[in-house]
Amino acid sequence: MNAVRWSMLIYGLCLIAMGVQAYFFPMPGSKVSPISLIAAGTLGVTALGFTYLSVKARSPRGAYIGTVILCLIVIGQFMGKVVKGEASFYPHILTIILSVAMIVILGMGHMMAMKRKEAEATSYE
């Protein structure tokens, strides 16, 4: 597994962990949140599924695109609280930071793969 796939794995596990924390160990002053467990668990398992597909598929492009879309969904979900001024660092801003970082990592991985592909093509000429 390369760094991009490890990042996808860690991202999925972080989402699941935040959902579990929100349900079983709520922050002081917060109530138990079953919807956070369900939503974050579903998103995290989906990210893990994309990680698995990126490893097993002949071409990981679809898994990477799916992960970017997943990150954009997560950003969209939490951006509303940020715009309204109701966001706290954890989980709102931290989740946005993780999602943006995942998109950047995927973009860098894509650029490195294209550069490697171009170098291989020019070495045969």
Q: In terms of C-beta density within 10 A (0-12 exposed, 13-18 middle, 19 or more buried), how is residue 71 classed?
A: buried
Amino acid identity, position 43: L
Q: What values do phi and psi take at 87, rounded to 5?
A: -85, 145
Can you give the pTM of this predicted structure? 0.92
Q: Which domain holds residue 8?
A: 3-123
Q: What is the DSSP letter of 29?
A: T
Query: How many Cβ atoms sit within 10 Å of the Cβ of residue 7?
Result: 21
Residue-wise pLDDT for 16-48, tens only, equals 999 999 999 998 888 999 999 999 999 999 999
Q: How many structural domains are present in the chain?
A: 1
Task: Assign 108 a pLDDT band (cuts: 50, 70, 90).
Answer: very high
Please tell me the predicted confidence (pLDDT) of residue 10. 98
Residue-wise pLDDT for 55-83, tens only, equals 999 999 999 999 999 999 999 999 999 99
